[in-house]
Amino acid sequence: MARTGPDTKARAAGIDESRIPPGQYYTDKWPVLHAGSVPHVDLADWDFRGFGLVRHPVRLSFDELKALGERDTVADIHCVTRWSRLDVPWHGVPVRALLAAVEPLESVRFVIAHAEQGFTANLPIEAVDDDAALLAYEADGAPLTPEHGYPLRLMVPSRYFWKSAKWLRGLEFTDVDRPGFWEGYGYHNDADPWKEERYGF
Q: Which residues of 149-182 are buried (b: 16+ CB within 10 A; e: fewer)?
A: bbbbbbbbbbbbbbbbbbbbbbbbbbeeeebbbb
Q: Least distance in Å: CB of 163 to ligand MTE?
A: 7
End-to-end CA distance of the chain: 19
Hey, which residues does 85 pair with through a beta bridge?
77
The Cα–Cα gap between 107 and 112 comes to: 15
Hey, which residues does 110 pair with through a beta bridge?
124, 174
Q: What is the 3-state secondary structure (H, E, C) of 123-172?
A: EEHHHHCCCCCEEEEEECCEECCHHHCCCCEEECCCCCHHHCCCCEEEEE
Question: Which 36-75 residues touch ligand MTE, going by CB under 6 A?
Answer: none
Q: Which residues bind to Mo ion, rule: CB under 5 A?
A: 33, 79-80, 162
Q: Least distance in Å: CB of 131 to ligand MTE?
A: 21
Q: Least distance in Å: CB of 107 to ligand MTE?
A: 27
User: Which entry of Mo ion, ligand MTE, none binds 32, CB below 5 to 8 A by partner kind?
Assistant: ligand MTE
- When asked if residue 184 is in the footprint of ligand MTE (CB under 6 A), the reply is no
- When asked if residue 186 is in the footprint of ligand MTE (CB under 6 A), the reply is no
CB under 8 Å to 3, separation ≥6 — which residues?
23, 24, 25, 82
Residue 3 or residue 34: which is nearer to ligand MTE going by CB? Answer: 34
- C-alpha 149 chain-centroid distance: 10
Q: Least distance in Å: CB of 79 to ligand MTE?
A: 4
Residue 20 or residue 165: which is nearer to ligand MTE going by CB? Answer: 165
User: Residue 6 has what DSSP assignment?
Assistant: -
- Residue number with the shortest CB distance to Mo ion? 162
Question: Which 119-148 residues touch ligand MTE, going by CB under 6 A?
Answer: 119, 148
Q: Least distance in Å: CB of 162 to Mo ion?
A: 4
Selected binder of ligand MTE within 33, 43, 74, 105 (CB under 6 A) = 33
CB under 8 Å to 138, separation ≥6 — which residues?
90, 91, 92, 144
Binding segment for ligand MTE (CB under 6 A), chosen from 5-13, 32-40, 46-54, 55-63, is 32-40
Q: Residue numbers of the site for ligand MTE (CB under 6 A)?
A: 30-35, 79, 115, 119, 148, 161-162, 164-167, 182
